[in-house]
Structure 1
Amino acid sequence: MPATAQSAFDTERLKRRAREIGPGLLVSAVIGIAAQFLSEHYGAPAMLMALLLGIAFHFLAEEGRCVSGIEFTAKSVLRIGVALLGVRISVELLMGLGVELIALVIVGVVLTILVGMVGARLLGRGWRLALITGGSVAICGASAAMAIAAVLPKNEHSERNLIFTVLSVTVLSTVAMILYPIVVQVFDLDQRAIGVFLGGTIHDVAQVVGAGFSVSEETGDTATLVKLIRVSMLAPVVLVFSLAIRAGGAEAVEPSRRPPLVPAFVLAFLGLATLNSLGLVPEIAADLLSDVSRWALLVAIAAVGMKTSLRRILDVGGPAVVLIVGETLFIAFFILAGVLWLG
C-alpha cells in the first residue's frame, strides 16, 4: 500500500475510533469536572464524588453510544493516570515503608490465596473458583481475575466464575473505597499507615487511588505504592499457578491468548518512579504530569462508577459470595492487625 493511501487509512481509522469512544469519554469528563466542582465548593472528596456520581449514571454503561467510551476510560485512561503517578514516587518513599511493611503485604497476598483454597473446599466449591477469587482479592481485582482465568483449564463453569469474580471484586472494591477510609479513622493511624492499609486491602487499583487520595495526598501516594507492590506479584503468582496446573496434567489456554504477566502501565509507573528517584524528571514536568494524572484518575473513577452495578451481585450463588467476602475480610483484618502490631 502506498504511503499516502496508508496515511489516509490510518487517519480514517483514528476518526472512526474517536467517534466510537468520544461520547463515553466526554460523559466521564463532565462527571469528573462536576466532582471537582463539588470538591472545591463543598469540601467533599473529589474521587468519592466522581464515583458516586458515576454510579448514578450506570444506565449509560449498559447500552447506547457511551458504552465503548466508558469502557475505554475505565481501563485505558485509568492506566495512564496510574502510570503517570510514578513521577510522585521515589525509592526514598519505598524505603520509608520499611522491610516489615513490604513483607506484611507480600505475606498477606500469599495467605489470602491459601485461605481461598481452604474456604472453597469447606464450602464445596471447586479449586478453579478458589484460585480466581483468591488471586483477584489478594492481588489486583478484575485484572488479576482475567490473568488467572487465562491460565486455568476450562470447564463448563469457567465463564461464570470469571464474570462472578469480576463483578464481585468491583462491588466489594467500591464498598471498601467508601467504608475503609471512614472505619480506619477509629484506630488513630497516621497518614502513611492508613495508606498501607488501603493499598494492602482494596482489590482494584482505581478504588485504591480513590480511597487513598480521599484521605490525603500522602495517604494516596503510599496506598498507590503499596497497591503496585501487590500488582507486581501478579507475574509470579500466575506463573506458579500455570506451572502447578501443567505439572498436574491439565492444559491451559494457548500462550498467544494470555495477557502479559506484568501490565504495561505497571512498567511505565516503575520507569517514571526510577527516573524520579534519579532526579531526571524536572520539577515543572513532574508538576504537569502529576496534574494530568490527577485529572485522568478523576475521569476514570467516574467511568468505573458508571460500570458498577450493585444489584447484579445478587444474581450469584450464596457459597461463592461467602467465599469472596471471607477472603476480603481476611486480608483486611490481616493487614490491619499487621499495621497496628508494627506501629
Structure 2
Amino acid sequence: MSTTSESSPTLAGRTTGFLTENGPGFAVSVVIAVCAQFLSDHYGAPAMLMALLLGIAFHFLAEEGRCVPGIAFTSKTVLRIGVALLGARISVELLIGLGPKLIGLVVAGVILTILFGLLGAKLLGRGWRFALLTGGAVAICGASAAMAIAAVLPKNEHSERNLIFTVLSVTILSTIAMIAYPVITAWLDLDDLAAGVFLGGTIHDVAQVVGAGFSVSNETGETATLVKLIRVTMLAPVVLVFALAIRAFAEDAPGQGGKRPPLMPFFVIMFLVLAAINSFGLIPAVLQTFLADLSKWALLVSIAAVGMKTSLRTIFDVGGQAIILIVAQTVFIAAFILYGITHFAS
C-alpha cells in the first residue's frame, strides 16, 4: 500500500518536472510553427522555410534561459516522432501503382544521387557526413530526409550548421523547382504521366511536388504525388543502411564519430511498423489523415527548434563548395530522371 502511494507522487513529480523543464522551449517552437503555417497559408511561402527563418531569428532563446532544454528536446525527439509518423502514408500498394520500370527508375535515382554526392563531396573537399546529409535530402524528401539522416549521423561541431544549411538549401531549391520544372515539362512536351514522374522524382519537398504537379494538370499532380511518396518510402531503408554503415565504421574508428549509433534507430522501426500496418489496410482513412497532419506539425515544430539552435552567422561559414555540391546533386537527379523517362521507362 505504501509502495503504491509513494510511486504515484514520484511518477507525477517526474511528469511535472519534465513539463517544467521542456515545456517553455516546446511552447515557443509551437508558436513559431503556427506563425510559419499562417504565413504559408496566406502568402504562399513554404512553411518549412518560414519556420526555419523565424527560428533562426529567435536563436538567443537557445543560448541561455528556461527555453534551452525544451528547444533541444523538440529539435531531437519531436523530430523523430514526425519522421516515424510518415510511415502511415506509405503502403505496398504505392510500390506497384507505377510498374517496375518507373519504380526502378525512381529507386536508381535515389541511390545514384547519394553516390554522386559522396563523389562530389570528395572532389570538393567536403566530409562524408555532409555528403550523406545533402545527398539523402536531395534524393529522398528534402527537409524531412535531412532531419532523419542527421538523427543517425555521428555529431561533430558542424552538425547543426550543416543541417540548417541543408534544410534551407533544399527548401529554396525545391521552391525554385516548383516554378521552373513545370515550364521544362511544357517545353519538352511531356505527357501527363511523364511530367508527373519527372516532377515527383526530382523536386525535394512534398508540398512543392503537389504545387508543381497540380499546376500542370490533375493527372500530373496525382502521378507526381504518388512518385514522391515512393521516394519517401526509401527514407527508412536509406537511414537504416546509413546507421548500419556508420555503426560498422565507428567500430573501426571510434574517434571519428563519437557515440556509436544504435543498430536500428527506434524511429525507423516505427516508420516501418506503420508502413506495414497501412499496407494491410488497418489504418482507417480518418486516422491516416490525422497521423499525416500530426507528422507535418511535428516536423514543422522541430525545424523551428532546429532553427533556434543555430546562429545565422554560422550558416555562412559552410563555404561555396557546399552550395556547389547541393546544386550539383539537384541537377544530377533532374537530369537522370529526365533521361530515364525519355530513354528507359517510356
Q: C-alpha displacement at 1:83, in angstroms?
A: 1.9
Alignment of 1:29-178 (within 5 A): 29-95=30-96, 96=98, 98-120=103-125, 130-139=127-136, 141=146, 144=149, 147-149=152-154, 162-178=156-172
Percent identical residues: 39
Q: TM-score, normalised to structure 1's length?
A: 0.75
Q: 2:329 aligns with which of 319, 328, 331?
A: 331
Q: 1 CA distance for matches of 2:233 and 2:333?
A: 16
Q: C-alpha displacement at 1:337, in angstroms?
A: 0.9
Alignment of 1:256-335 (within 5 A): 257-315=259-317, 321-335=319-333
Q: CA offsets, 1:39-81, max 9 Å, x none?
A: 4444444444333332332222222211221222222222222
The worse-fitting range, judged by mean Cα deviation, of 166-175 and 11-20 is 166-175
Q: C-alpha displacement at 1:174, in angstroms?
A: 0.9
Q: C-alpha displacement at 1:279, in angstroms?
A: 0.8
Report if aligned partners of 1:82, 1:297 keep a CA contact under 8 Å in 2. yes
- 1:2 and 2:7 correspond: no
Q: CA offsets, 1:118-146, max 9 Å, x none?
A: 443xxxxxxxx632232333335466467
Query: What is residue 236 of structure 1 aligned with on the other side?
Result: 241
Return closer, same or farther for 1:111/1:60 CA change in 2, 3 Å cut-off: same
Q: 1 CA distance for matches of 2:310 and 2:157?
A: 13
The worse-fitting range, judged by mean Cα deviation, of 184-193 and 106-115 is 184-193
Q: 2:177 aligns with which of 154, 178, 183?
A: 183
Q: 2 CA distance for matches of 1:179 and 1:305?
A: 18
Give the aligned residue type for 1:310.
L
Alignment of 1:246-261 (within 5 A): 251-252=253-254, 257-261=259-263
Q: 2 CA distance for matches of 1:243 and 1:299?
A: 33
Report if aligned partners of 2:22, 2:70 keep a CA contact under 8 Å in 1. yes
Q: C-alpha displacement at 1:191, in angstroms?
A: 5.3
Return closer, same or farther for 1:76/1:195 CA change in 2, 3 Å cut-off: farther
Report if aligned partners of 2:89, 2:288 keep a CA contact under 8 Å in 1. yes
Question: RMSD of aligned C-alpha atoms?
Answer: 3.5
Structure 2 unaligned residues grouped into runs of 5+: 137-144, 186-194, 214-220, 342-346
Q: C-alpha displacement at 1:166, in angstroms?
A: 3.6
Structure 1 unaligned residues grouped into runs of 5+: 121-128, 151-161, 200-207
Report if aligned partners of 2:86, 2:292 keep a CA contact under 8 Å in 1. yes
Q: C-alpha displacement at 1:264, in angstroms?
A: 1.9
| Residue aligned with 2:262, SS | coil
Q: C-alpha displacement at 1:36, in angstroms?
A: 3.1
Give the aligned residue type for 1:104.
G
Report if aligned partners of 1:211, 1:220 keep a CA contact under 8 Å in 2. no
Give the aligned residue type for 2:271.
F
| Residue aligned with 2:254, SS | coil
Report if aligned partners of 2:26, 2:74 keep a CA contact under 8 Å in 1. yes
Report if aligned partners of 1:177, 1:210 keep a CA contact under 8 Å in 2. no
Q: 2 CA distance for matches of 1:276 and 1:322?
A: 43
The worse-fitting range, judged by mean Cα deviation, of 252-261 and 59-68 is 252-261
Q: CA offsets, 1:157-182, max 9 Å, x none?
A: xxxxx222441242132132123222
The worse-fitting range, judged by mean Cα deviation, of 181-190 and 220-229 is 220-229
Q: CA offsets, 1:6-56, max 9 Å, x none?
A: 332232122111111111111121222223333444444444433333233
Give the aligned residue type for 1:163.
E
Report if aligned partners of 2:239, 2:268 keep a CA contact under 8 Å in 1. no
Query: What is residue 29 of structure 2 aligned with on the other side?
Result: 28
Query: What is residue 340 of structure 1 aligned with on the other side?
Result: 338
